[in-house]
Structure formats: structure tokens, C-alpha cells
Amino acid sequence: MGKTYRAAIIGVGAIADIHALAMGDLQNVDLVAGSCRTEAKGQTFADRFDCRWHRDYEELLDEARPDFVTIATPSGFHLEPLEACARRGIHVLCEKPLEISVRRVDRMIQVARESGIRLGGIFPQRFNPVLRVVHGAAAQGRFGDLAVVNAYVPRDDAYYAPDRWQGTLALDGGGAMMNQSIHGVDAAQWLASAAIPDLPPGVNPIREIFAFTAKRGHDPALIEVEDTAVAVMRLRGGGLGQILGATSMFPGSLKRLQLAGRGGTAEVLEDELVTWAFDQDQTGDDGVRRRFSQETSSGGGAADPMAIDYSLHTGNIRGFVDWLEGDDSFMLDGPESRKAVAIIEAIYESARTGRVAAVES
């Protein structure tokens, strides 16, 4: 038997339950503590998952002494807990986005590197079996010269309310794009990266963006951020792309991703493969079509953000723990998790200035 890793969760809001359930499926992870300033919520979490509650995350780090933590605090408060972990040599797996600006993300990466801890991100769609199949086909060059990559995240939800941190610039950093659609943004750039030949390691596949944002489904006095955004992209290598992110569309629908070139097209609706067509079929293509022809079994978070399958988080956390255990790399290390934030920051810059914005690599 290998080591059992002591884990803790900083910030036991809604997504923390998903983290805890995912950890419960891993034999080499033991959830020992969670932190929350609200006693009733924190104790309820602790009772449900048989762990300790701490009001203060620094107290948690000192008393629980975890090997790693997942950070699930509001998005604009990820850097500070990471710095506290770094001072104690505790590894960090952080919810998306790593932070709400490239500047703060770069500080997290620097602190982790200087302290010698591992920093990883949570983008569970990377562990969606159907997207892994598409990614593999892209890496094999089956789409030919990439023509388009498109991501659509049309949602209707109740994230925004007077007593919530969502919808504030200070803690959310943005709205439909930064909070909800970032999963589609990351998945699109990940697939595009595989499809662009000779893309240097670590380079963002998106070169530049033109975008508009708006508040169309919520009272502008209630939120400081967009609930509707559209963007067009130019990729390195010459391909184009589109991103739609919204929390303003009743009743909301499933996330859609599309990757296409002269060699073929793949289109995924949440976890259903609705198009898998190539100019030259290969052995196994019919099996792929049959395997992923089922409609999604969850709501995909289209109207209820928690209507998601936690098994993808299990894969995400397992991959991070394998990295701690000795794997050479983790596909969602700090620099890789940074890419989606850089794309969204360019979207916001373009919407603000009315000009094309370069994506920082």
C-alpha cells in the first residue's frame, strides 16, 4: 500500500460537497478537515463527511496538517490561502479559475514554485471520457488543418443575489465567462492545442479575440458583471473560433463543443457525441459512436449549477494525487490552468475597449 494523503478543503460552500464526494472515492485520500467562517454550515459539512470543522483556514492548516488542500473559496480569494499553504509546505489543488486576473494567477505560480509546493487546477471536463476521445483524435491530426473550435455555454441560473459573492468584480472577477463558461473556454483551448501541429509547449493556442459583453437577464443594479458574452477568436495556426457564455437564457441548455477541419468534425453536447465524422474512417470509429451516443444523464449545470456528475472531479483529484505520488507531470498544473484566465481577460479587454485584444501567453 502507498501513502494515504491527508486532505482538507478551504471554503465549504456548494462545490466543497463535490470535492468531498470525489475524495471519498479515492482509497489513498482521507478528508480530515474543512474550513468555513459560518459555524452552522461548517459543522453540517463536518458531520456529513466525518471530518473536523475549523472557522479559520490558518488554524486548519496548523492543526489538521494536511498533505494537500483544495481551495474552494470565492474566486478572488484563492491567492491568500495558497500563500498560507506555501508557508507550510502544503500542496494546493485550486478550483477554477485559479484567480480572477492573470497578475494574481502569476503570483500564485511564482509562490508555489519558490516554496516547492505543487499547484494544480480543477477543470473536470478534461476528465470527460468523450472529450478525451476528441482530444486524442486531434492529437493524431484527424481533423486536418484546424478550421474552427467553438464553445457554447448557454445557462439560466440564480447565482446572482444581493447576499452572494457571485456577480461582484472583487470576488467573481467577471460573470458568465469567468465563473460559469470558463469550463467551456478551457476545454476549447485544450482541444485546439492538440489539433495545432508544432504548437510550442505552454503556449496558448488562442492568439487574439474580439468580444462583446452585456447584462441582459439580470438587474444591472444587482450585478457588476456580464451575464451575456460572445467572442470570436483567431488561433495560432490560422483557425478561427467562437465562444458564447450566458446566464441569461431560459431555460438554459447543455454545453456544446465543436472541433472541425477539412479532415473531419466532432461535436459534443455535454457528454453525448452528436457528430463524429471524418473523410477517412478508422477502425473503432463505429465503436466510438455507439459508446457516446447516449444523451447526458445529468443536467450539466444548465439551470442548476450543482446538477453535475462528481466523478469527473474524482478524476481531476486523482490526477493531482498521482502527481504528488511521483508522476512526472499533471496536465492541469499552474501554467496550464492559467490559459483559460488569459483568454477571458482578453475577452473582457476587447469588450471594454471595442478593439481586438491579444491573448497573453
Question: pLDDT by residue (tens digit) across 283-301?
Answer: 999 999 999 999 876 655 5
Please, what sign has the CA dihedral across residues 169, 305, 102, 206? negative
d(C-alpha 239, C-alpha 205), whole Å: 10
What dihedral do alpha carbons 182, 74, 347, 232 form, nearest 10°?
20
Distances (CA, A) of 220 to 162, 171, 320, 354: 12, 17, 39, 20
Name the strand (E) or helix (H) holding 187.
helix 182-195
pLDDT at 303: 52
At residue 307, the pLDDT reads 62
Q: Is the pLDDT of residue 154 over 90?
A: yes
- Report CA 270 to chain centroid distance, whole Å: 14
Residue 302 scores a pLDDT above 60: no
Whether residue 192 contacts residue 239, with contact meaning beta carbons closer than 8 Å, is answered with yes
Note the pTM of the prediction, 2 decimals: 0.95
Cβ neighbors of 248 (< 8 A, separation 6 or more) are: 156, 176, 216, 217, 218, 227, 228
Helix and strand totals (H; E) in the chain: 10, 14
Unique residue bearing C-alpha cell 466525518: 50
Paired with 357 in beta bridges are 209
Angle ∠(113,118,124) on CA atoms, nearest 5 = 130
Q: Which residues contact 186 (CB under 8 A, 6 or more apart)?
A: 96, 123, 125, 126, 337, 339, 340
For residues 101 and 31, what is the distance between their CA atoms, to the nearest angstrom? 30
Mean residue pLDDT across the chain: 94
pLDDT band at 304 (very low <50, low <70, confident <90, very high): low
Rounded Cα–Cα distance for residues 267 and 250 (Å): 23
So what's the pLDDT on residue 333?
A: 98
Reported as a single tens digit per residue, the pLDDT across 247-287 is: 999 999 999 999 999 999 999 999 999 999 999 999 999 99
Greater model confidence, 157 or 138:
138
Cell, residue 181:
463558461
The whole-angstrom separation of Cα 94 and Cα 91 is 10
35 or 301, higher pLDDT: 35
* Residue 259 CB coordination number (10 Å): 31
- DSSP, collapsed to helix, strand or coil, labels residue 48 as helix
- Assign 159 a pLDDT band (cuts: 50, 70, 90): low
Phi, psi of 139 (to 5 degrees): -65, -25
Name all domains of the chain by residue range, CATH numbers in brackets.
5-122 (3.40.50.720), 126-306+333-358 (3.30.360.10)
Nearest CA-CA partner of 142 in 238, 287, 284: 284
Give the three cell numbers for residue 179: 465563473
CB-CB contact of 74 with 16 (8 Å): no
pLDDT at 156: 86
pLDDT tens-place string over residues 86-119: 999 999 999 999 999 999 999 999 999 999 999 9
pLDDT of residue 163 exceeding 80, the answer is no
